[in-house]
Structure 1
Amino acid sequence: MASPADAADERITLRVAGREHRDWTSYRIESHLITPADAWRVTLGIPADRIPATVRPWAAMEACLGQDVVLTGRIDRIEREVAKGQHALTLSGRDGAAVLVDCSAPIFTRRKVTLTEVVDLAVRPLGVSKIRVDVVSAREKVEIEPGMTAWDALGQACEANGCWAWFEPDGTLVVGGPDYAAVPVVTLVMRLDGQGNNVLSLAVTEDVSGRYSEVTVLGQSHGTETADGQHNIQHRETDPDVPGYRPRILVAGDCDGAAEAKRRAQKALMDSRLEGLTLTALVRGHRVTGQGESGKPWTPGQRVRLVSEPHGLDATYFLMGRTFLGGRDKGGVTELTLKEDGVWLPELAKTGGKGTRKNKA
């Protein structure tokens, strides 16, 4: 970990084929737990004869903050714009999930598979080798159709097993969930008198359009050689915090029973709650400053205490996403996307979340 540091530690560096590139006119580096294929983009002015041959589409890259790797992926696109007196170069790409989002799973027949089998059959063949599974049990099977993208196959298997997948900064694919037992890394403060403020701006958005007062799952299961099929499977979950009567009915054509219907209804209700509140904070620099994990880069999955007098808030929130923004003569800032704590994948979090079990899938 770099020390919380001087300006050199705050520079964003792109490592490609052993060479380092920095001093960008502008840069944007995203990371979000739910959105696959975190994107990055850097721009600089450069003489026409100074572009290394190693900088090309599909080249592997690392984005670093000082000595800390904050994103590992590949270059997708190179744009060169030449005008009188200037030559601009823009590089952009995504993290390791990009190939899974872009490409079909190399599965040629329809089949039912477990999460582990999806990893082996759809993920590893596309070149993803660093994988960690942080779930105790992943036995639910899903049906994979030929032509389905590898990410859709992985996402479907994760949904069925109550977990999710994302890429860590070092390029490791993690299948797991949040750690709501982690200590908040810092307290963000916005007071009316300005004393102790460390937030440049804070936007709080409450949105009822995706909220539901009740979710009902109607399901059925197919018969097998050893058991009869089940019909009229039903379970309803309610959210008393939603104003008005806002029902949603979900039909599950392949539901294993009442317990599965309950899990699906609970997840759908919590997903709607997750969408109902978003806090967007802008802070200086790209590292946590203050107590706790001071000096570490902002990373999705961290927990943050937020105290805002104008908004009447004093609570702990979950860092769902962050974006590094900056460039030459601009000074770096970080946009933090915060969500209600304990709402995303609460079922998995109850068993310990990240770190419960670390297996190689």
Structure 2
Amino acid sequence: MLMLSDQRKDHIVSLLIAGHVQQQWMEYDIDSDLLTPADAWQMSIALPTSKDGQALSFKTVLKEGEKIKVQIGGETVLSGRLDACQHEVVKGSHRFTINGRDDAAALLDCSAPVFVQRQSTMQEIVAKIVRPLGITKVVIHAEKTTKFEKVNVDPGDSAWDTLVHAAEAAGLWPWFEPDGTLVIGGPDYSTPPVDTLALRWNGRSNTLIRLSENRSISGRFSEVTVLGQTHGTETETGKNSLRGVAKDSQVNWYRPKIVTDHEVDNSAVAQSRARKLLMDSRLTGYTLEAELYGHRTQAGTLWKPGQRIRVISEPHGIDGVFFLMGRRFVLNRNDGPKTLLTLKEDAVWTLDALPHKRKHRKGKNGALGQILDIAKPSWQQ
């Protein structure tokens, strides 16, 4: 069992920037969400109102674009860059407020290289998109990936949108790990829950401060149809009337959605696309929002998107396993460290990446979880 001093140490938030480590904060907000393109962070520090050597030292390293790492108890939870800095001095107050995003920010802000490529694997397309922006570590976390008949990137398309489009065509999704590794894949729903969160009438063994259940039919559909066609190539004739249909039995009246996708290569891709769009609509229809003290599970593990959590709430009539889609580590002047969790239905999001098996075979286009070390372009070496 951890002693109190160890518990406090496990919750210390450190910012590492240009050889400087800062750990004393008035406020912080460190976000991570699998559906958000770039995880954001913001921190505020109060400084002495008189001249102070340490304060001046911290000020000198706060330069926009500087690489940073955010750690909690020595474990890295985010890698990225400093976006903006506000230095405010008013009567009786002197503070810095800084914010930034993880390494996905470059993909979100910048345009993708313009190219047309045929008969390409996922690995080749990803490398073409992210390599010019200095991203060199990529993991394809899927049993198999799609081989693209043709990929066409137009001027002005963002690198993130291009990457998402390629990933979704294979039933996958991109996100960044805390160490800066780009992952293309999906969750493993065979992993056991990392913790149990409880809210009981008698208050005994409660671990939650707040639990909010949100349900809505808006954005949900009884069926999703994807229509597509492909142009002929040197090796294949064109295909017309490509069609994929997915139905949601939980929506018991007719609410159809038809989507046209001109880059669907075959009926299997159309079916996979329809299934994903239907599951995405289910994601919008149900959310649990939980708030609790500290930043770790009862076993001492930091909360992280992708975990599975059992939730028991007698007031809500809930007892089941949910998927952790997003989490926020927060601190303000009135409360101690807290964590805000966004939970979704289990086994709904990105189903085609990993089948529900504990053992996975080697994929057609590469090993499961294979790390691709993409060399930097010559101008960055």
With normalisation by structure 1, the TM-score equals 0.92
Displacement of 1:68 after TM fit? 1.1
State the distance in 1 between where 2:35 and 2:236 align.
37
Q: Aligned-pair distance for 1:152? A: 1.4
Structure 1 residue 282: Cα displacement:
0.3
What is the identity, as a one-letter code, of the residue corresponding to 1:85?
G
1:165 aligns with 2:174: yes
Root-mean-square deviation over aligned CA pairs: 2.1
Task: Describe the shift of the 1:38–1:353 C-alpha distance in structure 2 as closer, same or farther (beyond 3 A).
Answer: farther
Q: For 2:356 and 2:288, how far apart are their aligned partners in 1?
A: 27
Match of 1:194 among 200, 203, 207: 203
Contact 2:168 2:273 in 1 (8 A): no
2:157 aligned to 148, 160, 166, which one?
148
Q: Structure 2: which 5+ residue stretches go unaligned? A: 362-367, 373-381
Q: Give the residue type in structure 1 aligned to 2:86.
A: E
Residues 244, 272 of structure 2: 8 Å contact kept? no
Q: Which structure 1 segments of 5+ residues have no match?
A: none
Q: 1:278 to 1:218 in 2, by over 3 A?
A: same
Q: Render the CA deviation track for 1:211-265: whole Å, top value 9, x for unaligned.
A: 0001112222222334332222223221121142211011122322322221111
Offset of residue 119 of structure 1? 2.4
The match for 1:304 is 309
1:343 maps to what in 2?
348
Counterpart in the other structure of 2:375: none
Instruction: Give the alignment partner of residue 106 of structure 2, picking from 99, 105, 108.
Output: 99
Structure 2 CA distance for aligned equivalents of residues 347 and 108 of structure 1: 29
Q: How many equivalent pairs are there?
A: 355
The secondary structure found in structure 1 opposite 2:352 is helix
1:206-245 correspondence runs (5 A): 206-245=215-254
**Post-superposition shift, 1:328?**
5.0
Would you say the 8 A contact 2:190–2:356 is kept in 1?
A: no
Superposition map of 1:22-171 within 5 A: 22-47=23-48, 50-51=55-56, 52=58, 53-105=60-112, 107-112=113-118, 113-141=120-148, 142-171=151-180
Write the deviation string for residues 249-302 of structure 1: whole angstroms up to 9, x where unpaired.
11122322322221111111111111111100001100011xxxx111101111
Displacement of 1:133 after TM fit? 1.7
Deviations 1:51-108 (Å, cap 9, x if unpaired)? 4322211111111111111111110000011111211210100001011111112x23
Identity of aligned residues (%): 43
Corresponding position of 1:248: 257
Aligned to 2:369: 358
Range with bigger deviation, 118-127 or 21-30: 118-127
Distance 1:252 1:329, change over 3 A: closer
- TM-score w.r.t. the length of structure 2 is 0.88
How far is the alpha carbon of 1:351 from its aligned partner? 6.2
